[in-house]
C-alpha cells in the first residue's frame, strides 16, 4: 500500500470572535489615535456623565480587556520619569503598544478598507447592525444589537459588541448571519410562489396599497386596471399589511462601486423594494419629484435573497481583485 506524504487539505479557517463591552470598544477607540471606527460604533461621553463615573468605567473596561488577554497590564513603573529622558510617553501614546497586535490589526481594517459593508436587520423585538471592512484578503466585522419594545420602537442599545476576524472567503456567510437569525430552523417554511415584480409611479403605488388595505375587490380591481399590472395585487400584499422584519445590505468600495439592497418581510412573505428618484438638480418642485419617482417591488424568499447577496458581494470582490 502506498502512503501519500502530501499534507491534508487545510480546513476552512473559522472566524475569530471577541466579545467586548461598549465601554471597552470606547476605550480602544479613544486611546488608539490611529483607529477610525464606523460612525455607528463610535461613542462619546454625555455631558451628564460625571468625571468620576467616566474614570471608574474606563478602569473597569481596561481591567476587562486585561482579563481577556487583549491588553497587557501597564508596567508598574509606568509613571516613573527616567533620568535624562527628554520625552516621557503619556497614557495615550503608551496604550496602543499594550493592545494585542491582532486586535489592533483587526480594528485597523476599518481605517481605510478596500470594501466596506453595512448590514442591518430587524425582527423579533431586536435589531442588529453589522459593519464589515475588507482589505488584502482579510475582513473584520463589528456587530451590535438593540432591543425594541412591543411596538418595534424605542431602541435600547445592548452593552455588547462582537468583533470578528476572518478570511475574505467567509465574507458572504458572515454577511448572511443576521438573515439566518430571522428565519429560525424549527419554523416550517411555506412554499414560495414564483417571484413577481411591478414598477409603479410612486403615487400609484401608494394608491394601490391603500386599496388593498381597504379589502374592497372593486377598488383593488380598478386600481390594478389603472396601473395596467394584473399581478400588482399579489406583489403589493406585502407592503400593504404589517411588516415584521427587514434585512438590508449596503456596500462601498475604493473603486467607486456601490450596492444598496433592502428586503422586508410581512405575513405574505419577503419582498424587495427599491426606488428610482430623479436628480435634485433636474426637478423644480416636490410635486415634480413625486411624479417622476418610480417604485419597484418584487416578491422573494430567503433562498433568493441568499443568492442575490452571494452574487452581489462576489461581484464586488471580483472588481477589487481586478
Identify whether residues 272 and 240 lie together within a single domain. Answer: yes
The answer to whether the beta carbons of residues 117 and 132 sit under 8 Å apart is yes
The span from the CA of 121 to the CA of 117, in Å, is 13
Is 6 a member of any domain?
no
The answer to whether the beta carbons of residues 134 and 115 sit under 8 Å apart is yes
Q: What are phi and psi of 65, to 5 degrees?
A: -65, -40
What is the signed CA dihedral for 62, 68, 70, 72, rounded to 10 degrees?
60
Is 83 a member of any domain?
no
Host domain of residue 229: 197-321
**Length of the chain as a residue count:** 322
The answer to whether the beta carbons of residues 315 and 301 sit under 8 Å apart is no
Identify whether residues 31 and 116 lie together within a single domain. Answer: yes
How many structural domains is the chain composed of?
2
Identify whether residues 23 and 172 lie together within a single domain. Answer: yes
pLDDT score for 280: 54
- From first to last of its 322 residues, the chain has per-residue pLDDT tens of 343 344 434 445 689 999 999 999 999 999 998 899 999 899 888 889 999 999 999 999 999 999 999 999 988 755 444 444 444 445 555 899 999 999 999 999 999 999 999 999 988 888 999 999 999 899 999 999 988 776 666 777 788 999 999 999 999 999 999 998 887 665 555 555 566 777 766 666 666 666 666 666 666 666 666 666 656 666 666 666 677 888 999 999 988 888 889 898 888 788 887 766 555 555 666 656 656 667 777 888 899 999 999 999 988 887 676 5
Q: What are phi and psi of 257, to 5 degrees?
A: -80, 140
Domain boundary among 157, 182, 207: 182
The span from the CA of 22 to the CA of 43, in Å, is 8
pLDDT score for 95: 93
Is 172 a member of any domain?
yes
Identify whether residues 26 and 167 lie together within a single domain. Answer: yes
Identify whether residues 176 and 205 lie together within a single domain. Answer: no
pLDDT score for 207: 64
Identify whether residues 60 and 115 lie together within a single domain. Answer: yes
Q: What are phi and psi of 288, to 5 degrees?
A: -60, -40
Domain boundary among 151, 182, 213: 182
Identify whether residues 27 and 160 lie together within a single domain. Answer: yes
Identify whether residues 273 and 221 lie together within a single domain. Answer: yes
The span from the CA of 57 to the CA of 266, in Å, is 42
Is 111 a member of any domain?
yes
Domain boundary among 140, 157, 182: 182
Is 55 a member of any domain?
yes
The span from the CA of 114 to the CA of 116, in Å, is 7
Identify whether residues 131 and 214 lie together within a single domain. Answer: no
Identify whether residues 64 and 213 lie together within a single domain. Answer: no
Is 144 a member of any domain?
yes
Is 134 a member of any domain?
yes
Residues paired with 132 in a beta bridge? 117, 141
The answer to whether the beta carbons of residues 13 and 167 sit under 8 Å apart is yes
Is 79 a member of any domain?
no
Identify whether residues 167 and 25 lie together within a single domain. Answer: yes
Identify whether residues 55 and 121 lie together within a single domain. Answer: yes
Amino acid at each position: 500500500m502506498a502512503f501519500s506524504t502530501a499534507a491534508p487539505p487545510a480546513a476552512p479557517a473559522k472566524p475569530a470572535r471577541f466579545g467586548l463591552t461598549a465601554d471597552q470598544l470606547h476605550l480602544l477607540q479613544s486611546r488608539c489615535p490611529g483607529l477610525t471606527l464606523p460612525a455607528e460604533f463610535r461613542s462619546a461621553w454625555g455631558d451628564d456623565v460625571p468625571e468620576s463615573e467616566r474614570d471608574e468605567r474606563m478602569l473597569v473596561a481596561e481591567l476587562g480587556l486585561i482579563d481577556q488577554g487583549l491588553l497587557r497590564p501597564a508596567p508598574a513603573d509606568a509613571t516613573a520619569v527616567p533620568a535624562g529622558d527628554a520625552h516621557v510617553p503619556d497614557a495615550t501614546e503608551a496604550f496602543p503598544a499594550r493592545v494585542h497586535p491582532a486586535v489592533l490589526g483587526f480594528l485597523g481594517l476599518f481605517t481605510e478598507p478596500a470594501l466596506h459593508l453595512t448590514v442591518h436587520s430587524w425582527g423579533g423585538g431586536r435589531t442588529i447592525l453589522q459593519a464589515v471592512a475588507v482589505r488584502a484578503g482579510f475582513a473584520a466585522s463589528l456587530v451590535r444589537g438593540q432591543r425594541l419594545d412591543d411596538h418595534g420602537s424605542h431602541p435600547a442599545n445592548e452593552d455588547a459588541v462582537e468583533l470578528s476576524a476572518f478570511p475574505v472567503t467567509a465574507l458572504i456567510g458572515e454577511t448572511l448571519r443576521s438573515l439566518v437569525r430571522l428565519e429560525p430552523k424549527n419554523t416550517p417554511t411555506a412554499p414560495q410562489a414564483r417571484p413577481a415584480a411591478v414598477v409603479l409611479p410612486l403615487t400609484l403605488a401608494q394608491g394601490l396599497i391603500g386599496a388593498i388595505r381597504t379589502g374592497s375587490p372593486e377598488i383593488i380591481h380598478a386600481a390594478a386596471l389603472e396601473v395596467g399590472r394584473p399581478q400588482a395585487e399579489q406583489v403589493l400584499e406585502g407592503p400593504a399589511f404589517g411588516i415584521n422584519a427587514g434585512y438590508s445590505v449596503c456596500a462601498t468600495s475604493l473603486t467607486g462601486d456601490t450596492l444598496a439592497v433592502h428586503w422586508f418581510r410581512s405575513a405574505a412573505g419577503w419582498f424587495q423594494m427599491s426606488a428610482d428618484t430623479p436628480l435634485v438638480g433636474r426637478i423644480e418642485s416636490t410635486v415634480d419629484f413625486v411624479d417622476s419617482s418610480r417604485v419597484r417591488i418584487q416578491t422573494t424568499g430567503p433562498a433568493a435573497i441568499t443568492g442575490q447577496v452571494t452574487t452581489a458581494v462576489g461581484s464586488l470582490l471580483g472588481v477589487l481583485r481586478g
